[in-house]
A and B are shown apart, each in its own frame.
Chain A
């Protein structure tokens, strides 16, 4: 039995490490070649920071990255507020709960291309009011990500004191004020996870963005996709490296903060 366990442990490590190597190999390669000035990954060239310099001179790529961030931050913020308010509303809803849940499930499980065509046709219908572009993309991304915020916040609502809302209104605060000053602080953890989820979903989005961006607006995803036939500019390797390091730093920071909080909680 003991020998069997040992075999399982050794084999497990071998498989996990092999899988991790395969998963990280492409990323590691891009990071390595972000410091080598060559046209393609795998071609030799001088070691330099040239690609980083090129990145900061490549206006198109920088604009695409800026658009991605802008759309991500604003739509995630809107989705978090809207999603949290909605989650509270749905939680207290007597009738129609099922219907609202089915519709939000539909947005989550729907094939993205179907959602994209729907938004596209809506923009055609409203062409006198809205123009495809950044503002329209923010609307689209907000609508897509709200259900995810609702799903993240809802579980925490059942742990909430059900009388909290009445306490706020009984003490004379308006319903809206109660929501923002009494309910929101209680849900802040769920809201932060909801924001992070909405933000990453927005950053990653391609299908809806590509069909609704108009001709002049690019995000990182559409820029890379559209430049692959002509050849992706080597500076994208520098951008990939910066984004990967940023993700890593944020994740490590969140992990350390979480652990510190847990330790503090244990001491008390």
Chain B
């Protein structure tokens, strides 16, 4: 019996092999190239370049700001929309929510081309503002969908209980609906914030190379055969991704823990 179990686990082997060859190994290569000088020797010069050359670290800081701004605007637009879509007069029209995500299935570059055509027709200049508009336009569905899913599956008895206990509409929202939709908000933020770092096709099309995100810089470095600095910059991004992942995982676990303990405490009362 035990042997059979092991046998079925074998089906995970091809994927494990792919993970090692195409996921882990390239990241190791990234690390190697980041510490490799032009002559092949070990060097810290690439990382020194990343952290002392203003064009590099400023690009990184600017990208951080751009991503934060785009994510915040997405959240501010998506939450009310998701709230309306998930509320009682509207949630019986499933087609409504679908309409918001249909453009997602169209090629994003064609969508950005369409948006650029519209802004061009309206006489709006290319620049930082239009780059942000482009990011928000492209990523909005990715913020909307997880929040909508969280709100639609919400247990309404909490809000009713809050209302019965005398809380007004706004307080009920603040104390029950909003905290309960935090998982949706978190996945939405994860789906928008990090992808913005790579979205140079959008920021360069809607703005110019000055408004671009760090992904464009890395692409340019690799294309001009500056593999060392490009890899070092990419490696800094990777560390950032891992930090975001760990924080996200810890936060989720902590929340689950408090929820569980709250439930058990409630159960013993």
A-side residues, CB < 8 A to B, are 5, 8-9, 12, 15-16, 19-20, 23-27, 29-30, 33, 40-42, 68, 82-83, 85-86, 88-90, 92-94, 96, 100, 103-107, 109-122, 124-125, 139, 143, 146, 150, 165-166, 169, 175, 179, 200, 203-204, 206-207, 210-211, 220-221, 224-225, 228, 232, 236, 239-240, 243-244, 247-248, 251, 255
* A117 cross-chain contacts in B, Cβ below 8 A: 26, 30, 218, 222, 230-231, 234
CA distance A63 to B161 in the complex (A): 60
| Stretch from B46-54, B104-112, B148-156, B253-261 at the A interface | B104-112
A41 and B106 within 8 A (CB) = no
* B263 cross-chain contacts in A, Cβ below 8 A: none
| Stretch from B37-45, B117-125, B171-179 at the A interface | B117-125
* B15 cross-chain contacts in A, Cβ below 8 A: 82-83, 85-86, 89-90, 100, 104, 146, 150
CA distance A5 to B90 in the complex (A): 12
Query: B251: CB under 8 A from chain A?
Result: no
Partner of B108, one of A24, A68, A206, A247: A206
Near A by CB (< 8 A), chain B positions 92-138 give: 96, 98-100, 102-111, 113-118, 120-121, 137
- The residue on A at minimum CB distance from B16 is A100
Give chain B's interface residue range (CB within 8 Å of chain A).
35 or more
Interchain pairs with CB closer than 8 A, number: 244
| Chief secondary structure at chain B's binding surface | helix
- The residue on B at minimum CB distance from A170 is B4
A122 and B29 within 8 A (CB) = yes
* B241 cross-chain contacts in A, Cβ below 8 A: 106, 109-111, 114
Given contacts A82-B14, A82-B15, A111-B194, contact A29 B29 (CB under 8 A): no
CA distance A221 to B197 in the complex (A): 18
* B84 cross-chain contacts in A, Cβ below 8 A: 12, 15-16
A111 and B198 within 8 A (CB) = yes
Write the B242-253 contact mask toward A (1 if CB under 8 angstroms, else 0): 101100000000
* A93 cross-chain contacts in B, Cβ below 8 A: 9, 12
A89 and B98 within 8 A (CB) = no
* B238 cross-chain contacts in A, Cβ below 8 A: 110-111, 114
B102 and A165 within 8 A (CB) = no
